[in-house]
A = this chain, B = another copy of it.
């Protein structure tokens, strides 16, 4: 199982980064029974946001979707740091994708799919999850996407 995930990551050209530090006075992960809660992940790459601004205004679909992918990679980084390896994820239970969006931009699902597809592509069946996706007015540091996660481990 571990090897399968590593090989998928390699095929996708993804390396799991260092975890992103919290941008406030909270912690990154908390276990509750068999559930792992992960703080809202931003599209941070080496501590810098991949995109800022609102999709439908200053950010286009392609870049917003990439931002969601980075959020998902950061979710995996948090899980790996907490669990030791990604094979210990039994199931991604739920993600809530908050997308900073102009009120006229309605294709929120396409942006969130950037994260959802990545989780399934890396974790297989264990990556399938329930989801809410909503357009919000603004995110921390003007990030374009933030994703909250609950997993079963």
With the chains together, A80 CA to B53 CA distance in Å? 40
With the chains together, A48 CA to B132 CA distance in Å? 18
Chain B residue numbers with a CB within 8 Å of A32 are 34-35, 91, 93, 150, 152
Chain B residue numbers with a CB within 8 Å of A39 are 94, 130-132
Chain B residue numbers with a CB within 8 Å of A101 are 137-138
Contact of A98 among B93, B132, B140 (CB under 8 A): B132
CB distance A94 to B138 under 8 Å? no
CB distance A132 to B91 under 8 Å? no
- The reply to whether the CB of A134 lies closer than 8 angstroms to some CB of chain B is yes
- The reply to whether the CB of A105 lies closer than 8 angstroms to some CB of chain B is yes
CB distance B37 to A113 under 8 Å? no
A residues contacting the other copy or chain, number (CB 8 A) = 59
Chain B residue numbers with a CB within 8 Å of A108 are 138-140
- The reply to whether the CB of A112 lies closer than 8 angstroms to some CB of chain B is yes
CB distance A54 to B103 under 8 Å? yes
Chain B residue numbers with a CB within 8 Å of A40 are 131-134
- Nearest chain B CB to A97 CB, angstrom units: 9
- Could you list 13 examples of A-B contacts with CB < 8 Å? A24-B109, A26-B116, A32-B152, A37-B94, A37-B130, A37-B150, A39-B131, A98-B132, A106-B138, A106-B139, A107-B140, A107-B141, A133-B140
Shortest 4 CB-CB contacts between residues of A and residues of B: A40-B132, A135-B138, A24-B109, A26-B131
